[in-house]
Structure 1
Amino acid sequence: MQNLPTTLADWLSTLETMHPKAIDMGLDRVRQVKDRLDIHFDCPVITVGGTNGKGSTCAMLESILMQAGYRVGLYTSPHLIDFNERARVNGEIASDEALMAQFAAVEAARGDISLTYFEFTTLAILRLFAQSPLDAVILEVGLGGRLDAVNVIDPDVAIVTSVDIDHTEYLGDTREQIGFEKAGIFRPGKAAICGDPVPPKSLVDHAAAIGADLWLFGRDYNYSGDKQQWNFGGRSQRRNSLGYPSLRGANQLLNASAALAALEALRNRLPVGAQEVRNGLVMVELPGRFQVLPGRPSVILDVAHNPHAAATLAQNLDNMGFHRYTYAVFGAMHDKDIDGVIEQLKDRVDHWYVTDLPLPRAATAEQLRQRLLGAGVVPSTASGAEKTIETFSSPAAAFASARSRAGENDRIAVFGSFLTVAGVMEFRRSEGQSGKA
């Protein structure tokens, strides 16, 4: 690159076209550039992988550790609105200037090594963290685990939150194949925490083969509770009378328990008190994960984009109490299991507002409409229609129409892709948080 870009937007636009493949699994190229940049960490590193629940688990770890007074670096992906969301240093989103300085360093170090957008930006954020005075680093895996760019860093604790079917073209089409890929973040002699209540045999076998210290939910740690509070039990540590995490949803205690197991494994290096755990769980925030916005009609933002996540969303919707009608703003990538997502939610939705998304990978609104028809969602044109399907060119247009139709006792669920949720979030932001939703 002869003339370096001068804005973050220009950098990101350049990186999108720099490598012939958007996703190019393998660590050799990334590891070479990492070594040239001398990226290493003297503080504990927690790597978090899994099909669903990664973001929630990372957010809880960050919140608890920061309540305990630790300086924390958190890397997550993808972002919802601004790229900078991917890198947080002590709770603050990284500035354009900080990121561009690291992009320039990666560009200078890579020489003739070609990197994907994800690989390049991952290295830049890792270097940002390595140069920051941090007490802990939390890294969310992008895709899979074994061959993900994040896996060039050796974690002190690795968490696999859940194993389900997703990204089959890269990871395989069975839980056993996918479990092996996700177990690739485990390390010999280090704590390897599995939050999936039914772990694939391949994950358990891989942990044993490499000599990882495997913590299984239900064997090495668990939780119990009632409607008011819950308790965590680990190998040698109990945490009682905990408040429920501020993140809503059916699986959040599984995610919280995995986070607390990781902190137990690191208790000698990162001790955390009981009140700091309580405060961290109560104060944690994560946009787009069963996020219920204030006001009426109820608006739910959820990045659910595979059947496992859609089943959790369906359960969470069921637990919300009565709503007269449910409107769905739904957009999805065509390589996802769209039929599986629809199957989980078709009985909970009355009016489908399906939308195009601004990516070639996306299914069109018309394709989604056809999938709904194929799944037995039959629109009724009778007065007081119970089922309708409408197509829109953008999530913003779909949401605006749904909001204009929905009554105050109805709800609007926005799901199917990060881009679907981001489109609605940007629309609401452009309105200046005017209180219309």
Structure 2
Amino acid sequence: MLKRGLITLAAVGLASSVLPAATASAADSPLTLAVFGDSPYGKSAYAPGGQTADTSQFRKVPAFIGTINSDPTVSDVIQVGDIHSGKEFCTEDYDASIATTWQTFSKPLLYTPGDNEWADCHKASSLTSPGQGGGFYDPSLGAIKYIGASGLSTDPADCVSYRCGNPLDNLAKIRQDFFAQPGHTLGSGTLNVVSQATAYDPSHPGDAQYVENVMWAQNDIVFVTINVPGGSNNDADPWYKVPTATQAQTDERTDRAAADVRWLDAAFADAQARHAKAVVISTQADMWDLDGKSKDHLTNYEPIISEVAAKSTEFKRPVLMLNGDSHLYRSDNPLSPTAACTGETDPATGSGICTHDPGNNAWIEHPYYNVPNFHRIVVHGSTTPLEWLRLTADPNANHPATGTTYGPFSWQRMPQPQL
């Protein structure tokens, strides 16, 4: 059994909240987790645009879950967002199908939402590029053309995606389907976590809506999840390609980023108070991925990055970030100007993923920091073979920073055998 320590948040002014302790072995024993994201990817059928469905990855999910369930060393599972691709419509039925499938995990599952299931649901380009079934602004009409059941439409009643892809409505649906009980994990098994919905800073009661942000402690390590979606933190690209982002969009991003920062502060405060050996941050966005755009497209990640840098520096012990979003496996420290980077080959270029950045270092995308006690892993996603990461946290270890180790952590890529 794993030790699940008490989380005490009073030190940062939050409402009183604890994680009940379970019967446990030594607190300093190794802990192994499975980490994955950006899957299953596919394509929605859309006859008016000539698009046929691709559900091949979805059909592999039961076998994928089986490989994790059958590993006796794995105690918990972390999913870092994106439950479908940018070519699949955001629908109630699809969300429900993933929620049902995840019930077959025999381990507790921790999930942080990705951009494809809410922040990018508005996206579409044309009848033949229907994206996620949202819509796009037509300047000749001064209105949004939605992806309708029979073709483009200005009537929201015709939309193929849930609420015409409205990001706020889709986030609410994700919370309803995956976070209905604050403090409870998905899958089976038990892991007590604290949700921001019940442990928010009373000075900021609006933070109670962020039920998806959780933290927990295991084996002398504090874990925290924050809702930071890819796509430039959901702000540089106006929803539906309207000329100017709406106030609702701006407020959503600003409020969520502020809540995320407060939740990070609470996690680090707890880690300091309990003298934790390390902190693990799970989120979806690759906040250093230019994705072919200019650096100003990443500007609004800065409040999150600067807080991670500051709190890691204060903590002085190892901090590990887990994220998905950019799909290719990568191991690096983007908060250091000199840290090495390793990763898989980009099939689009034939070069290693690290060559996407000048000097093979993502630090250049936010060149403000030098935080040696930080490391980041981007998990592989989007393509087959489906893959998960076996992450072992040994609080007594002190590994060098390499492509597969850092401080208390070591990891191994686990591609699923193709059946």
- Rg bigger for which structure? 1
Give me the TM-score of the superposition, normalised by structure 2.
0.31
Give me the TM-score of the superposition, normalised by structure 1.
0.30
The higher relative CO (CA closer than 8 Å, separation ≥ 6) is in: 2
Greater helix proportion: 1
